[in-house]
Structures are given as structure tokens and as C-alpha cells.
Structure 1
């Protein structure tokens, strides 16, 4: 089966109106995309902001008359009709297409992230089998890559580890495979905790070795290693909590931070940690240190 796709160049204030119009015209799905390259990093809670230049993409079943669709759009929009175009799209297995683009990746000297449907390139390496499911964290984003490279360079044998904002569990699982003893993972998203448990099981990690909690249920204890790959704003806000979770002499690694936000985050932790030089990749940074 193929589809007819319409793409409209809209302003954020037009989004709701044109979404309603296209659904009334029979669209089976409506998607908003960035028309340029304007990432939105930390929206306010409860908001879903759009880009200043947004593309609205709507899919219709292929049996719809494209000329009639054009006429209806012009009729609804009148003189304010956005620029738009129509194209036919062949159907495909979208999940398979995504899986085919996700390949094994190496981080540091020992660690490989291997999609669960791939064979490990180096059977003797530390191979983390990953199925990210609906949660973030595959190693493809610079923030995750920076944390994995930091972990690979650390002595982890026998350590207790907290993964704060665990997503897919990739960082905690990497720590365990690199020698950590006990892991605790927390996330505000129940789906993330489910993905973390699934990935832990896939990597043959015993349930008692890797516990998952919603933040409000977290045990109050200190850890040898604290990992937090979230965003700069929450890292600053949560600094007292993350500092408290790190034992004296323990290590911390913080990421999800844009390069221009690094100093603000460093300032929030510098009184309690001897911080290493900031590591940067593609405009994102990782800040690490040892608690005094």
C-alpha cells in the first residue's frame, strides 16, 4: 500500500487549525516537524512548543483524489493558505527500517553497544545488548556517547552505582558489565523503567543486582558512582540531591548539557567536587568529578 502525503509550511499559531482541517479531510495521521534546525531543549512543564518554522505532514490513503484535496485545502485556507505540496510515498516496514539503521557501536577501549538483533562484532569485548524500546538511550546521541566513554575509562569493579534518569538503562547496564556490583536506576517514566528491566534481563543481570524505582520511592543511600544524563536545568535544580547521593571519594558524571550551559552546571557542583576538564562532543558536554 502507498500513501499520499501533504506537507504544509506553517507557523506555530496555525498548527491546531490546520491539524483539525486535515483530519476533517480524512488524514489518517498528522505530524509536526522542524522545518529548519531549531532544537527545543527544555520546554516549560505542561507545554508542547513548536518551532518558529514548522512543517505539518499529513498522510492520506492513496485512493484519495489529489486534485480534490488541493481544492479543499485552498477552499479552507483561502488567502491564508500556507505553501504546500503533495507526494506519493511507498509503504515500508518502518520498524525494520529503523532497526537496519542501528548498528553496533564501540565506546572507549572495551565497551560495545550491540542491538539485540545483531551479532557482536567482538565476542571477547564488553558487549551490551540493547533494545531501546520506547525510551531514550541507544548510544547514538553525543550525551550518551560521552557517558559511555567516561564509564569505559573508569575502574568499576565492586562499585555501587546510581543511574538517575535511566531511560533505557544503558548507562547502568554498561557499569554492571564493566564490573559494578550493585545498581539502582530511577526515572520519572514508568516505560523507561520497564525498558531498563527488559534490557537488564537481556544482558543476564540478576534482578537483585539492578533495582528500579520511581524517584519518590528511591532509597536514601550513597553510591560510589552517580550517573545523570538528563538536562542542564534539572541537573542544577537537583544538585543538592545528586551531591547527597555521592559518597565522599565517590565519582559523578553529568551530561545532557549544551556547551554554553556547562559553566552553570559546573558552578552548581564545584563546591563539593574536584571537577575534571569538561569533555565535549558535537556541542554537548559531560562534566565529571570526585566528591571531596
Structure 2
């Protein structure tokens, strides 16, 4: 059915009052978006930042009394002396949103071998390595630059028999891609139990045998070493966990890190400088991929 959407352009400090008012008025869903398209990347620990100018969107059933709703919001704004630059309403057409989203999710080439293919589409290269993905749980789909950069690295470097640790595995996209590219075994770890479900689902879609991969939330379940370690998370956790992540590699074995903004690359490399010799930085759309190898003991002395 069609829906009525109301939009209020305001300041972040006023968003909570307006959100509560919309919900009390019968709003079915509230969304906070950036009025000025100002990106907020990795937040300071313990904070939930909003943009300098925030637009609150409320979704109501179509038969709501629009004049009454706008008058109600005006009264809340006046009572609390809020700054609201504008209020607008519109009817959203009735669409099959799931179908529209599916139509817009296309296969992604990640090098000369690897494709990420929506599970409902025919692979464009039947002879390629096709990772079928059904992103029902919101983790990696390959479209984000950090995931794409990691997939490119795997396309170019995975060899038959490799063992891979996917640290912060999310949907399992990286570790499962490694298996399809020839790796022997993959272990994935993530703090979110939903990630384990997503990985299991994606493994089933790709007919990957259960004995070839293992996912867990507990570091005590991990083996002592892997031939490749890949971690696509965020710069802060990558720095905090640098000793732990590097410890899963023997000398000469490769490490791949992403989820890092270009201006954070030096900081992350510094956190690993005692144990990893890095390759040149690879950048895409303001994000970077760091790769390198574990140093020999004599190099660390």
C-alpha cells in the first residue's frame, strides 16, 4: 500500500525529541539521514555521532490526517523551541521494494577469475569462480570498496591448499571466496552470532562442504597459525588487535587488512610495524587495503 512520509530538517541535538513525537503520533518507522551528504566514518569509541544537519523521516499509513500531523509537529517544535528548517510530506508509491533492490544488485568482477553473483542471477562467466551471494543478512556483499579490494587480493594470491583466517568474517564473503578460489580450509571469527548464521547460509548457497570451513565467536577455538590472515573491520579494532591478529601468522606468511580510510593507513601500519613488512598501499574511493608479510625474527630484533 502507499505510505505518507514526513521529513523534518533539524539539528542533531533536536532529533530525539522529534523522533519521540513522531512515534507517539503513530509513526511506523523513523529514519535519520544526513541533510548535507556529510559522511560520518569511524566514530570515536563510546559515541554515536550524527551529522551537523539531520533530516528525520517518518513513515505513516496513507490515511493519516496530514494537516493534523503537521500541526502536531509544529506544536512540539514551538513547545521545545526547536530549530527545524523545513517540514515536508509526500505520498510514496506502492512498489515491490524487494524486487527493485534485487534488480539493482548486479554481478561484480573482482579480478580475472572471481565474480560475486546474486544467487538469483545466472553467472556472466560460467567458467569463472562464481561466489553466489544471497545478502539476506546485512553484512558484506562485495560492493563496498574495502570488501572489493580484499576480494581482488584473494583473486590474485590464493593458492591450492591454503588455510585462511577471516578475522571479522561478517557474511563470510572473503573466506568463502578463498575456498572457491582453491584454499583448503577457512576459519571465520566474528563477535556477532548473526555473522555465523550468514556465513553458514552463504556456504550452503555455494555448495561448500561443512568440513571445509569453521566459524566461531570464540578466539579459543582458533588454531595457532594460518597461511593467510585477512581482516576487513575498522582501523580502531585493527590497531587494538594488532598483536593478536599478527600472531596467527608464521614468518613470511601474508596479512591483508582493510576497513581503513586513507588518512588512517599510516596509523594502522605503525601498529603492525614490529611484525609486518607492508606492500605499497592500494586505495579505492578513499578507502585502503594494506597487505604485507610477517617478518622473520631477525628482522624484528
Alignment TM class, shorter chain as reference: over 0.9
Alignment length (residue pairs): 292
The 3-state SS of whatever aligns with 2:74 is helix
- Counterpart CA distance in 2 for 1:96 and 1:10 is 33
- Aligned residue runs from structure 1 range 229-268, under 5 A: 229-268=232-271
Map of 2:8 onto structure 1: 8
Quote the offset at 1:108 in angstroms.
0.8
Map of 2:299 onto structure 1: none
In structure 1, list runs of 5 or more residues that go unmatched: none
Quote the offset at 1:215 in angstroms.
3.5
- Counterpart CA distance in 2 for 1:237 and 1:218 is 20
The equivalent position to 1:195 in structure 2, one of 194, 198, 205, is: 198
The equivalent position to 2:144 in structure 1, one of 141, 148, 154, is: 141
Map of 1:122 onto structure 2: 125
The answer to whether the aligner puts 1:277 opposite 2:280 as a matched pair is: yes
2:33·2:56 contact (CA, 8 Å) conserved in 1?
yes
The 3-state SS of whatever aligns with 2:247 is helix
Quote the offset at 1:279 in angstroms.
0.3
1:73·1:81 contact (CA, 8 Å) conserved in 2?
no
Quote the offset at 1:68 in angstroms.
1.9
Calculate the TM-score normalised by the size of structure 2: 0.93
Quote the offset at 1:46 in angstroms.
5.3
Map of 2:82 onto structure 1: 80
Which shows bigger deviation, 195-204 or 214-223? 214-223
The answer to whether the aligner puts 1:109 opposite 2:123 as a matched pair is: no
2:14·2:82 contact (CA, 8 Å) conserved in 1?
no
- Counterpart CA distance in 2 for 1:84 and 1:50 is 19
Map of 1:53 onto structure 2: 53
1:133·1:168 contact (CA, 8 Å) conserved in 2?
no
Quote the offset at 1:112 in angstroms.
0.3
Quote the offset at 1:70 in angstroms.
1.7
Quote the offset at 1:53 in angstroms.
1.1
Map of 1:287 onto structure 2: 290
CA RMSD of aligned residues (A): 1.4
1:33·1:54 contact (CA, 8 Å) conserved in 2?
yes
Which shows bigger deviation, 226-235 or 38-47? 38-47
- Counterpart CA distance in 2 for 1:16 and 1:263 is 37
- Aligned residue runs from structure 1 range 164-179, under 5 A: 164-179=167-182
Map of 1:162 onto structure 2: 165
2:11·2:83 contact (CA, 8 Å) conserved in 1?
no
- Counterpart CA distance in 1 for 2:265 and 2:128 is 33
Which shows bigger deviation, 41-50 or 164-173? 41-50
Quote the offset at 1:170 in angstroms.
0.6
1:224·1:246 contact (CA, 8 Å) conserved in 2?
yes
- Counterpart CA distance in 2 for 1:81 and 1:172 is 48
- Counterpart CA distance in 1 for 2:63 and 2:220 is 52
1:74·1:81 contact (CA, 8 Å) conserved in 2?
no
- Counterpart CA distance in 2 for 1:14 and 1:223 is 49
- Counterpart CA distance in 1 for 2:275 and 2:175 is 23
The 3-state SS of whatever aligns with 2:251 is strand
Calculate the TM-score normalised by the size of structure 1: 0.96
1:237-280 residue CA offsets vs partner (Å, 9 max, x unmatched): 11000110112221110000000000111112232222110000
Map of 1:212 onto structure 2: 215
